[in-house]
A and B are shown apart, each in its own frame.
Chain A
Amino acid sequence: MLSLNFSSVLHGQYLHWFLLGAICTLLLFAVSWVIGFLLSLIVVAVRSSGARFLVAAAAGFVGYHRNVPELVQLFVWYFGVPQLLPATWQQLINNTGNSEFIFATIALSLNVAAYMSEDLRSGIRSLPSAQLEAARALGLSYISSMRKVILPQALKVAVPPLVNQSLGLFKSTSLAMAIGVAEMTYVSQQVENESFRTFEAFAVASIFYWTVSFLIMGLGTVWSKRLNMDGTR
């Protein structure tokens, strides 16, 4: 059993699969991250807008995504939502040939947006309220104040939890395998099924995840240091 043979798993068809799996994972991660981050900014803005219905809706959005397992969120989108869509939309999505990827991206983006918005909210709350007052007193509109004064500072504070969320998002891409997205975890199972080299197949996938995880953490530390170089805080 202990005769490990990594080369058998790392060439030809299998290597091809692993590479595609890695690319798929990274793509899923990147797209979800960008959409999620932008969305989280909107959610934060909505939540502090003061309009009762909007605030409640945003709170509900965050509450849903934090209390329902991510896998279930994925299923609601992939299995449940198409049932509600008009036939033309369903056709459109199916014709792309990548419906699984699209739904996975939607589910992951919304989920990470909810968590990131909470981290940003904490970041904003940690700022002295005088900051917003000062900005408004200078004549900036609410949106300008948020954009130019509050959010930049809140982002600095929120970098460590945001890096954690990014890490979480990266690992959550593995859930997409449940709906057939050929990301790394799916591929490692495929390779394992075909080659019977369980340890090697899982090890390759694990090394991929560890490498990127540590890269993300490293980037986060660098980014955090750079943001704090002006000596504030």
Chain B
Amino acid sequence: MTDLFHILHDYGLLLLVGQFPQGPLGGLALTLCLAVAGLLISFPLAVLVGIARTSTHTVIYLPVSVAVHLIRGLPVLMIIFWAYFIVPLAIGRSVSALTTVLCALVVYELAFMGEVIRAGIQALPKGQIEAARSLGLNGFQVMRRVVLPQALFHMLPSILNRFISLIKNTSLGYIISLNELTYSAYQINIQLLTKPFQVYTILAVTYFLICWSLGQAMTRLERRIQARRERTAAYVESTIIASA
């Protein structure tokens, strides 16, 4: 439809970068920055959560597990509302919608990415940890040198998946009027009024292209990791007989 091209021509920049540079960053650029920031902040914290969830010390395991289950039991929207309420109280002054959404997304990802990392740690053969401990390495060294490098590598596809999820979740910033991609489309729609289908189709296609490409990258990454694992396993197995 020619409508689509007209809309893209007239409003493309708004969708892409919001009011920038005459105003704050918005649109797709804000969405991506928000997602990247969310990933960078939540990743190290999620690693800590994943480690805590595999800990044998109840004092560490229990509170973290309870927190993870509570976060996973709530809709992202509720977490955004809680953040809207709690963050200003915690910091002592009012915060922007951007900060609120960022905090909410980080908390949400802590729980989910934490579980991904936990799965990665638990998937590692026990022999690796036993060998490392037998050499005299302490718990911290075992994690840092032996467990995490392997676990995180194997979990790369899943972590990428969480990034895709983050991008999709940024759309909820709309609810508190954060000027990301979805809200920008909404603003365009209010101006045009008669072409909601075209506007929202463009919106959907934009998200689709980004998330789908990342998904393809993830699948290819998964295949390469799996191929490497299989090559290793196959060769080693050819020289080993099945254990008793």
The reply to whether chain A is a binding partner of chain B is yes
Contact A206 B85 (CB under 8 A): no
Separation of A138 and B139 alpha carbons in the complex (Å)? 57
Nearest CB of chain B from residue A58's CB, rounded to whole Å: 16
A80-B196, A209-B75 given as contacts; is B81 within 8 A of A185 (CB)? yes
Assuming the A-B contacts A75-B200, A174-B77, A185-B77, are A67 and B212 also in contact, with contact meaning beta carbons closer than 8 angstroms in the complex? yes
Interface residues of B, CB < 8 Å — how many? 37
Q: Is B172's CB within 8 Å of the partner chain A?
A: yes
CB neighbours (8 Å) of B212 from chain A are 63, 67
Min CB–CB distance A210 → chain B (angstroms): 5
Determine whether the beta carbon of A178 is less than 8 Å from that of B207: no
B5 CB–A CB distance under 8 Å: no
Would you call A71 and B182 a contact (CB within 8 A)? yes
A199–B77 CA distance with the chains assembled, in angstroms: 15
Residue-wise interface mask of A (69-87) relative to B, using a CB-CB cutoff of 8 A (1 in contact, 0 not): 1111101100111011000
B215 CB–A CB distance under 8 Å: yes
B interface residues with partner A (beta carbon < 8 Å)? 70, 72-78, 81-82, 85, 89, 164, 168-169, 171-172, 174-175, 182, 186, 189, 194-201, 203-204, 207-208, 211-212, 215
The residues of A that contact B75 with a CB separation of less than 8 Å are: 171-175, 185, 209
Cα–Cα, bound, A76→B194 (Å): 14
Contact A177 B74 (CB under 8 A): no
Q: Which one of A80, A174, A177 contacts B197 once the chains associate, using CB atoms below 8 Å?
A: A80
- A189: nearest residue on chain B (CB-CB)? B81
B90 smallest CB distance to A (angstroms): 12
Q: Which residues of A come within 8 Å of B, CB atoms? A: 1, 63-64, 66-73, 75-76, 79-81, 83-84, 171-175, 177-178, 185, 188-189, 198-199, 202, 205-206, 209-210, 213-214
- Given A83-B196, A209-B73, A213-B73, A68-B204 contact (CB < 8 Å): yes
Docked complex Cα distance between A172 and B203 (Å): 20
Whether B208 pairs with A68 at a CB distance below 8 angstroms is yes
Give complex CA distance A70, B200 in Å: 12
> For B175, B198, B200, which residue has the most chain A Cβ atoms within 10 angstroms?
B200
Cβ-neighbour of A209 out of B74, B164, B196, B215 (below 8 A): B74
- CB atoms of A76 and B74 under 8 A apart: no
Q: Which of A68, A79, A210 contacts B207 (CB 8 A)?
A: A68
Contact of B74 among A79, A175, A206 (CB under 8 A): A206
State the main secondary structure of chain A at its contact with B. Answer: helix
CB distance from B244 to the nearest CB of A (A): 25
A80–B76 Cα distance when bound, in Å, is 24
CA distance A174 to B197 in the complex (A): 23
Q: With A67-B211, A185-B81 in contact, is A79–B196 under 8 Å at CB? A: yes
CA distance A73 to B198 in the complex (A): 13
Q: Which residues of B contact A185 (CB under 8 A)?
A: 75, 77-78, 81
A-B residue pairs, 8 tightest by C-beta: A80-B197, A174-B75, A213-B73, A67-B211, A171-B75, A69-B171, A69-B168, A79-B196
Instruction: Give the docked Cα–Cα distance between A214 and B69 (Å).
Output: 9
Residues of chain B with a CB closer than 8 A to A75's CB: 182, 186, 200, 203
From B74, B85, B171, A198 is in contact (CB under 8 Å) with B85
Partner of A205, one of B72, B76, B78: B78
**A67-B207 in contact (CB<8A):** yes
A68 lies within 8 A of B211 (CB): yes
Question: A210 to B182, Cβ gap below 8 A?
Answer: no
Q: What are 5 A-B pairs with beta-carbon distances under 8 A?
A: A68-B208, A75-B186, A80-B200, A185-B81, A213-B73
Point out the residue from A67, A79, A177, A206 that lies within 8 Å of B200, measured CB to CB: A79
* C-alpha spacing A84/B198, complex, angstroms: 10
Contact of B189 among A79, A173, A189, A213 (CB under 8 A): A79
**How far apart sit A6 and B236, CA to CA, in the bound complex (Å)?**
63
Contacts of B200 in A (CB 8 A): 72, 75-76, 79-80
